[in-house]
């Protein structure tokens, strides 16, 4: 039987909370998102029409979406989109789901990119293109190159670039640096795979549905980060920066890796939960003077 919006929010939020071990606030937000999609309305309309009863077609559509979520499928994949850094991105099971923690990586990159001057930025393992396109949007004078080894993921990034209409982004199929032919950049950013291959979290929650090769990276989760740091200097200009997202307990290891390669000004930055989430370093040496227009910390 069709139910009212209020009844659905109350009953289905409790069911999601119990079945998926969500907190009550997250469960309610997810039900709201599914209702908005089924009814093709915005959140404000939904909240002001709580007594509205769904018709049979709407109820059938909503129930199908809710059942998918009840079986664990992430809301982002069900709806085919996720908001990140103020922009809306198409996502599919070929890409990771953009997460708020990764916005820190964008923020740290933007701090180092001049507002008006030219700057070349490389995003390694771009997935949906969320990082690269967010940077391109905030810094229209920057030239952004985004690469991914997955043709399926790159197709999603291309769709997002076309839909958003940014003309300062170039997308390239490449296994890390392999197709870049010696190109150099002022900033390299990456949210690479950083979970250990045997980590139990890979079989839990939303990550069960995300692409394994975008999550797992060797026995300790650092294989991809080592590959990036090993070759990054070959593609960085003098005074350039490498910024890497990593796991909650990997900051010290990533800093050590950067220092071993010879990066200077090595640091780690905290996410909103107070966890060291992004680490980075510069190609600058004591003999280098900061380049004009290039922002240093």
CATH of domain 5-72: 1.10.8
Structure confidence at residue 1 as a pLDDT band (50, 70, 90): low
CATH class assigned to 93-282: alpha beta
Q: What is the pLDDT of residues 243-283, one digit of tens each?
A: 999 999 999 999 999 999 999 999 999 998 999 999 999 99
CA 40, CA 32: separation in Å to the nearest integer? 11
- The confidence score (pLDDT) of residue 290 equals 41
Element (H, E) at 55: none
Q: What is the pLDDT of residues 84-117, one digit of tens each?
A: 999 999 999 999 999 999 999 999 999 999 988 8
Q: Assign residue 129 a region: left if phi > 0, alpha if psi is -120 to 50, beta otherwise?
A: left
DSSP code per residue over 210-279: S-GGGTB-SSSS-HHHHHHHHHHGGGEEEEEEEEEE--TT-HHHHHHHHHHHT-EEEEEEE-TTS-EEEE
- The confidence score (pLDDT) of residue 218 equals 87
- Is the pTM for the entire model greater than 0.85? yes
Structure confidence at residue 138 as a pLDDT band (50, 70, 90): very high
CA 245, CA 152: separation in Å to the nearest integer? 22
Question: Among candidates 248, 251, 250, 249, which has minimal Cα distance to 267?
Answer: 251
Helix (H, G, I), strand (E, B) or coil at 53: strand
CA 31, CA 82: separation in Å to the nearest integer? 15
Instruction: Kindly list the domain boundaries of the chain, sorted by start residue.
Output: 5-72, 93-282
The mean pLDDT value of the chain amounts to: 93
């Amino acid at each position: 039987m069709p139910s009212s919006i209020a009844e659905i929010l109350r009953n289905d939020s409790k069911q999601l909370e119990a079945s998926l071990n969500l907190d009550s606030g997250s469960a309610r937000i997810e039900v709201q998102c599914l209702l908005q999609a089924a009814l093709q309305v915005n959140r404000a309309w939904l909240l002001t029409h709580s007594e509205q009863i769904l018709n049979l077609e709407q109820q059938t559509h909503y129930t199908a979406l809710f059942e998918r979520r009840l079986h664990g499928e992430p809301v982002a994949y069900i709806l085919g989109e996720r908001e990140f850094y103020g922009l809306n991105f198409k996502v599919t099971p070929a890409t990771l789901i953009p997460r708020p923690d990764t916005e820190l990586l964008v923020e740290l990159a933007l701090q180092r990119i001049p507002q008006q001057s030219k700057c070349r930025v490389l995003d390694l393992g771009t997935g949906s293109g969320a990082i690269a396109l967010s940077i391109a949007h905030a810094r229209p004078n920057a030239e952004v190159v985004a690469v991914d080894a997955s043709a399926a993921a790159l197709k999603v990034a291309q769709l997002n670039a076309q839909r958003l209409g940014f003309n300062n982004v170039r997308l390239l199929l490449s296994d890390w640096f392999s197709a870049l032919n010696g190109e150099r950049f002022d900033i390299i950013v990456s949210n690479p795979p950083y979970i250990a291959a045997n980590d139990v979290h890979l079989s839990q929650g939303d990550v069960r549905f995300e692409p394994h090769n975008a999550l797992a990276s060797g026995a300790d989760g650092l294989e991809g980060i080592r590959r990036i740091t090993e070759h990054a200097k070959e593609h960085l200009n003098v005074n350039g920066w490498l910024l890497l997202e990593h796991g909650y307990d990997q900051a010290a290891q990533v800093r050590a890796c950067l220092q071993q390669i010879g990066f200077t000004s090595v640091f780690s930055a905290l996410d909103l939960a107070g966890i060291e989430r992004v680490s980075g370093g510069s190609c600058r040496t004591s003999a280098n003077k900061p380049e004009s227009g290039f922002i240093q910390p």
